Amino acid sequence: KAGVTQTPRYLIKTRGQQVTLSCSPISGHRSVSWYQQTPGQGLQFLFEYFSETQRNKGNFPGRFSGRQFSNSRSEMNVSTLELGDSALYLCASSLGSPVGPGSEAFFGQGTRLTVV
């Protein structure tokens, strides 16, 4: 079965612009989470969506937002881009329901965002 798909794979944006990244989860998965990875801060949790609702949120400013559609596909948006937003943005999907062990997350290949 198809894995987690993130588009685009690479993106270059100018400071002050906004950007939208897309994530298609594994079929049947209802939870989508977003992570930011930078050399300085490592892998950091941004937010999680489950059944079109934000269920958990990390410690990021309001410029970072997301949404989830009825087909579980998710988008994240970053407004007013800053140089420090340059990072690898990763999306992960999981079943998301309280099924106990087995709710491992499957990650996409990520979107490499460069802000110039």
Candidates 24, 68, 72, 94: give the one binding other proteins (CB under 8 A). 94
Q: What is the distance between the alpha carbons of residues 40 and 22, in angstroms, rounded to a whole number? A: 24
Of 9 and 15, CB closest to other proteins: 9
From the CB of 16, what's the least distance to other proteins, in Å?
27
Contact 111, 10 (CB under 8 A): yes
Long-range Cβ contacts of 59-67 (<8 Å, 24+ apart): 60/36, 66/34
Residue 39 binding other proteins, by CB under 8 A? no
Rounded to 5 degrees, what are φ and ψ at 14?
-95, 145
Rounded to 5 degrees, what are φ and ψ at 24?
-110, 115
Q: What is the distance between the alpha carbons of residues 54 and 50, in angstroms, rounded to a whole number? A: 6
Of 14 and 102, CB closest to other proteins: 102
Candidates 1, 2, 83, 99: give the one binding other proteins (CB under 8 A). 99
Candidates 17, 71, 109, 114: give the one binding other proteins (CB under 8 A). 109
Q: Residues interacting with other proteins, by CB under 8 A?
A: 4, 31-33, 35, 42-45, 48, 50, 55-56, 58, 88, 90, 92-101, 103-110
